[in-house]
């Protein structure tokens, strides 16, 4: 069994591109060009109405056109003088106009442009142009969701945007059946604290499912590391094998000169904070397999630097927050720096988790729709946008540390709109550093 999603997103040339990582970087640079030409963010809000018959304590309401006729619950015998007229009124033909149907996450015929596009694909069948149109729809139309942030098609939208193929369920189950991974103790130490104050997350996602998913990803990362470390990397390693005294795998030093070793080679199989980064995937997914595919892809392809070594990718991101703030709001940056408030003191969780640490969760999901469409590196600008929205409060405070200890609740619509404006002021060389900072 395997999950499936829109197949048109994976249409492409028969031959694979020579360098997928280079192509992803170029697509993100093009996303920057698209965003810098955007002048406004169009928000679309849809409302649903419902109508029909309902039972009341004193009788039943019957809707006839624009009029409502109530029939009493307890009827008595009536004279024949008005029986015919009453029956004629109750059996009058109902107008053919239908009441409005629920849209969005409910069951209805009418769909939003975004949902229709995701279901039917591009009209001309061109995957590349269709993907660009899909991103523009995300920028102009919010993903339809209920009050809990749940959408029937958001998870497929993410799979399409990140170009993740289906993962067989048996592959995920194989990791589950292997039991505890080497990082199991660390995982159990964090999972019970994951979004502990968010009732929406606690109601939908169990700690057991979070443990299973993180444990499965840890096993896959562990296997990848072990496979790379078991390869002979130098002449010295070959001589050690000849004398039958190979070093232990977990003690073997990395070979910095190996050109074949990708950056994820020295990644940890689990670091603190991965549980929060994983939470929105598991909340939005319709199955653990989908969340597994998304989360593993994200930590190995989109932000491997966040789980590598001393989390150097996160620290680069923190420095980029300070540099971007200096460019877009120099007065605010100077005020914070004069108080010793650098991003490393308050923005570490926001960088590592793509703002998933800041409630409410439904707004996080809307923000992630935007980040997955135009690049997760834009999270750096989203953090700056949150600071800009607090500008007056921070400038008036002699102790900004107390304010920044807990950022205000997310407002995805306003943050995205401000990010689109701020990104136009980011120099191209600094933007290029943002694109690659998590690699």
pTM for the full predicted model:
0.71
Task: Give pairs for 116-124: CB < 8 Å, separation 24+.
Answer: 118/6, 118/153, 118/156, 118/157, 118/160, 119/6, 119/153, 121/6, 121/8, 122/8
pLDDT per residue of the chain (439 residues) written in tens, 0 to 9 = 444 444 444 344 444 455 555 565 655 656 555 565 544 443 433 443 344 434 434 443 433 333 343 444 444 444 444 444 444 444 444 444 444 444 444 444 577 888 888 788 787 767 778 888 899 999 988 899 999 999 989 999 999 999 998 889 999 999 999 999 999 999 999 999 999 999 999 999 999 999 999 999 999 999 988 887 665 544 444 444 334 433 333 333 333 333 333 444 456 899 999 999 999 999 999 999 999 999 999 999 999 999 987 899 999 999 999 999 999 999 999 999 999 999 999 999 999 999 999 999 999 999 999 999 999 999 999 999 999 999 999 999 999 999 999 999 999 999 999 999 999 999 999 999 999 999 9
pLDDT at 21: 58
Alpha-carbon span 252 to 247, nearest angstrom: 6
Starting at the edge strand that comes first in sequence, how are the strands of the sheet with 54-56 ordered?
54-56, 59-64, 67-72
What's the length of the chain?
A: 439
For residue 297, the tally of other CB atoms under 10 A from its CB is 18
pLDDT at 104: 43
Asked whether the beta carbons of 340 and 348 are under 8 A apart, the reply is no
Alpha-carbon span 47 to 102, nearest angstrom: 8
pLDDT at 136: 92
DSSP-H helix ranges across 57-144: 83-90, 113-120, 127-140
Burial of 247 (0-12, 13-18, 19+ CB in 10 A): exposed
Which CATH number is 310-439 given?
1.10.472.80
Alpha-carbon span 97 to 63, nearest angstrom: 12
Give the residue extent of every domain in the chain: 163-254+261-300, 310-439
């Amino acid at each position: 069994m395997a999950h499936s999603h829109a197949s048109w997103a994976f249409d492409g040339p028969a031959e694979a591109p020579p360098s997928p990582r280079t192509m992803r970087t170029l697509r993100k640079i093009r996303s920057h060009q698209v965003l810098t030409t955007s002048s406004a963010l169009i928000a679309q809000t849809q409302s649903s109405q419902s109508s029909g018959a309902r039972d009341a304590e004193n009788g039943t309401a019957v809707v006839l056109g624009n009029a409502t006729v109530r029939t009493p619950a307890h009827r008595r015998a009536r004279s024949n003088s008005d029986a015919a007229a009453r029956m004629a009124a109750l059996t009058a033909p109902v107008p053919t106009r239908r009441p409005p149907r629920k849209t969005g996450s409910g069951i209805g015929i009418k769909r939003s442009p975004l949902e229709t596009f995701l279901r039917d694909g591009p009209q001309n069948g061109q995957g590349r142009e269709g993907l660009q149109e899909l991103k523009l729809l995300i920028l102009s139309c919010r993903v339809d969701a209920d009050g809990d942030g749940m959408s029937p098609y958001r998870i497929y939208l993410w799979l399409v945007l990140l170009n993740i193929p289906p993962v067989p369920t048996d592959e995920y189950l194989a990791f589950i059946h292997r039991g505890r991974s080497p990082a199991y103790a660390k995982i159990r130490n964090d999972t019970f604290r994951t979004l502990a104050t968010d009732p929406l997350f606690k109601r939908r996602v169990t700690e057991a499912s979070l443990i299973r998913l993180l444990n499965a990803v840890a096993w896959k990362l562990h296997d990848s590391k072990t496979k790379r470390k078991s390869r002979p990397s130098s002449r010295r390693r070959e001589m050690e094998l000849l004398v039958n005294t190979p070093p232990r795998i977990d003690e073997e030093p990395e070979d910095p000169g190996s050109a074949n070793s990708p950056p994820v080679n020295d990644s940890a199989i689990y670091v603190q904070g991965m549980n929060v980064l994983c939470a929105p995937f598991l909340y939005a997914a319709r199955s653990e397999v989908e969340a597994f595919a998304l989360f593993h892809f994200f930590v190995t392809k989109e932000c491997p630097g966040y789980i590598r070594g001393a989390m150097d990718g996160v620290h680069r991101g923190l420095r980029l927050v300070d540099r971007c703030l200096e460019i877009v709001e120099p007065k605010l940056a100077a005020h914070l720096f004069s108080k010793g408030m650098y991003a490393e003191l308050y923005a570490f969780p926001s960088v590592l988790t793509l703002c998933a640490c800041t409630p409410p969760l439904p707004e996080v999901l809307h923000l992630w729709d935007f980040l997955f469409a135009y690049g997760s590196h834009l999270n750096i600008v989203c953090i700056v946008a949150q600071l800009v929205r607090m500008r007056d409060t921070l400038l008036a405070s002699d102790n900004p540390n107390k304010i920044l200890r807990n950022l205000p609740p997310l407002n995805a619509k306003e943050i995205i709109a401000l990010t689109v404006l701020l990104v136009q002021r980011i120099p191209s060389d600094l933007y290029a550093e943002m694109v690659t900072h998590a690699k």
